[in-house]
Amino acid sequence: MSKQKNMYELSVKQWNVFKGCRFDCTYCESSFKRQAKRQKRNCMKCYEYTPHTHPERLTQSLPRTKFMQFIFTCASGDIAFCPTSFLRNIVARIEKEPGKNFLIQSKNPKTFSRVSFPDNVILGTTIETNRNKLCKAVATAPLPSKRYKDFVKIEHPLKMVTIEPVMDFDLNVMVKWMKDIKPCMIWLGYDSKKCHLPEPELAKVRELHWELSRAGFVVMLKTIREARNS
């Protein structure tokens, strides 16, 4: 199993027209929230990770994207907390850039049903595990079973799932969920920090990678290593 491109290498720009989140994932403290702390001098709401908009960025120049690349839209936050009126403004700007690819992620995929996204947007969600109990212990986001059901209902040609930071799971359930969601791309990886999550054994992650690949999915690997709690 070799490591492939990092999601952030495929992202040509983080376009943070909306920032912040209240899902309080424990593993966010050492990633997105830590990055946001650099913004203290520029914007206190960014620093505190309070959901808020940056309307001045709606008209920013956006770079071109090549095959497999995208503009990571609202990367530092979750659009579930973005007002619908502002989300429409984001979509209106994206519609003016039909030759560029965009990625928008949410841990509450039901939020995608609020507006209609053009086909140059990849819609993504995180499903770190199928086990609700494990997720409940580390975040207030909708439980994985709800994310799965809601994401299946979203009718959109380009969907993506991030299984990262992977937590212990049931192989058959995870594979079934992916088959039902039909993502164009799946990211798989362990926690890249040291957040003490209930991690599956490496052999189990390899098996998931194998089964997903065998089912025809493009699986991009991120941090792959031995489980820390093994």
Report the nearest approach of ligand SF4 to the CB of residue 216 (Å). Answer: 28
Nearer CB in complex with ligand SF4: 120/125: 125
Of 208, 219, 113, 201, which Cα lies nearest the Cα of 162? 219
Report the nearest approach of ligand SF4 to the CB of residue 163 (Å). Answer: 14
Report the nearest approach of ligand SF4 to the CB of residue 209 (Å). Answer: 22
Report the nearest approach of ligand SF4 to the CB of residue 186 (Å). Answer: 17
- Which residues have C-beta within 8 Å of that of residue 115, sequence separation ≥ 6? 84, 87, 88, 91
Report the nearest approach of ligand SF4 to the CB of residue 126 (Å). Answer: 7
Nearer CB in complex with ligand SF4: 51/118: 51
Query: Which residues contact ligand SF4 by CB under 6 A?
Result: 21, 23-25, 28, 32, 77-78, 107, 139, 141
Nearer CB in complex with ligand SF4: 100/159: 159
Nearer CB in complex with ligand SF4: 116/140: 140
Report the nearest approach of ligand SF4 to the CB of residue 77 (Å). Answer: 6
Nearer CB in complex with ligand SF4: 77/189: 77
Nearer CB in complex with ligand SF4: 141/227: 141
Q: Give the length of the chain.
A: 230
What distance in Å separates the CA atoms of residue 107 and residue 128, rounded to the nearest whole number? 10
Residue 18, φ and ψ in degrees, nearest 5: -130, 140
